[in-house]
Amino acid sequence: MTFRKWILAILAVSFAALSISLGFWQLRRLAARRAANAILESRRAAPEITLDSLPADTGAAHFRRVRIRGTYDYPHEIVLTLRGREGSPGVNILTPIRRAGNDTAVLVNRGWVYSPDGVTVDLNKWREGDTVDANGFVETFPTVGAFDQPNPKRPRSMRRLHRADLVKLFPYPIANYYVVLTDSSAARNAPPRVEPAPLDEGPHRNYAIQWFSFAAISIVGLVIFLRRT
């Protein structure tokens, strides 16, 4: 072969090797995603426990089914903005729960309500009682990704729950997790509860197929080129 053909062959084989490596990397990520989903699914099916029985590690507490009892602190509610539901804009309402004998409050996502701009809502219309005795699952505060700067005009409305900003809004400590209620309240003005996010496998399988396809195209293309020349 000529020098030019050798260069093309080396480049094609190198690209194919890189593509195969990336394809197997995506398969490893798919396996890790499946393992994580299996753990979360097992927690969904496990018997519910009390908040005091949760593991101290929030990662181990994530998605645990819990029973929560306490008193709603409506004046210190938080609004999670730009939450869609069946194509409609809205917000999620998070209300602190004060528990007897415990100074640390727990934020509770009580559900979704319609908001034309996905930001503003009359919270007084959505008070469902003074006390709560309900079940739900544990969610963790996000720690990666971009967080919007607090809006001075709406300090209690935020796009993502940044715990470092949240702690400044309460006159008491808050837990390092929050609870999403899942039971249906008998109160007429209770907001519809938020459904747990589906445990999908992500795009890793498709990405792996794409990388393997690139490798095959590279090798097949090289063979055709060499035969024709």
pLDDT at position 224 is: 84
- 214 shares a domain with 177: no
156 and 214 inside one domain: no
Domain total in the chain: 2
Is 195 among the domain residues?
no
pLDDT score, position 229: 67
- Inside any domain, residue 151: yes
Q: Do residue 68 and residue 156 come from a single domain?
A: yes
Question: Do 8 and 85 fall into the same domain?
Answer: no
The span from the CA of 173 to the CA of 75, in Å, is: 16
What is the three-class DSSP state of 22?
helix
Residue 47, in any domain of the structure: no
> Residue 114 has what pLDDT?
94
Range of the domain at 164: 64-181
8 A C-beta contact, residue 81 and residue 119: yes
Examine residue 87 and state whether it is found in any structural domain, yes or no: yes
pLDDT at 126 (0 to 100): 92
Return the pLDDT at 55.
87
Q: DSSP code of 192?
A: P
Residue pair 107/175 in contact (Cβ under 8 Å)? The answer is yes
pTM above 0.85, yes or no: no
Question: What pLDDT, on the 0 to 100 scale, is given for residue 1?
Answer: 62
159, 117 contact by CB (below 8 A)? no
Same domain, yes or no: 71 and 36: no
Query: Do residue 76 and residue 149 come from a single domain?
Result: yes
Residue 120 lies in a domain: yes
Residue 150, number of CB atoms within 10 A of its CB: 16
57 domain residue, yes or no: no
Together in a domain, 127 and 209? no
Q: Is residue 75 part of a domain?
A: yes
Tokens 């730009």 appear where? Answer: 82
- Three-class DSSP category at 163: helix
What's CA 145's distance to the chain center, in Å? Answer: 12
pLDDT of residue 180: 94
- Looking at the fold, whether 87 and 163 belong to one and the same domain comes out as yes
Q: Is residue 144 part of a domain?
A: yes
- The pLDDT of residue 107: 96
In the block, which residue shows the tokens 């949240």? 166
Beta strand spans in the chain (E): 49-50, 65-72, 78-80, 90-99, 102-114, 131-139, 157-158, 174-181
| Together in a domain, 119 and 217 | no
pLDDT value at residue 207: 94
Structure tokens at 73: 């602190």
pLDDT truncated to tens, each residue of the chain (229 aa)? 677 777 888 888 899 999 999 999 999 999 999 998 888 888 877 888 988 888 888 888 888 999 999 999 999 999 999 998 888 999 999 999 999 889 999 999 999 999 999 999 999 999 988 888 889 999 999 888 777 777 777 888 899 888 888 999 999 999 999 999 988 766 677 888 888 777 788 899 999 999 999 999 999 888 887 787 6
Do 87 and 176 share a domain, yes or no?
yes
Question: What's the Cα-to-Cα distance from 98 to each of 64, 80, 107, 114, 170, rounded to whole Å?
Answer: 20, 20, 9, 26, 12
Residue 107 near residue 96 (C-beta atoms within 8 A): yes
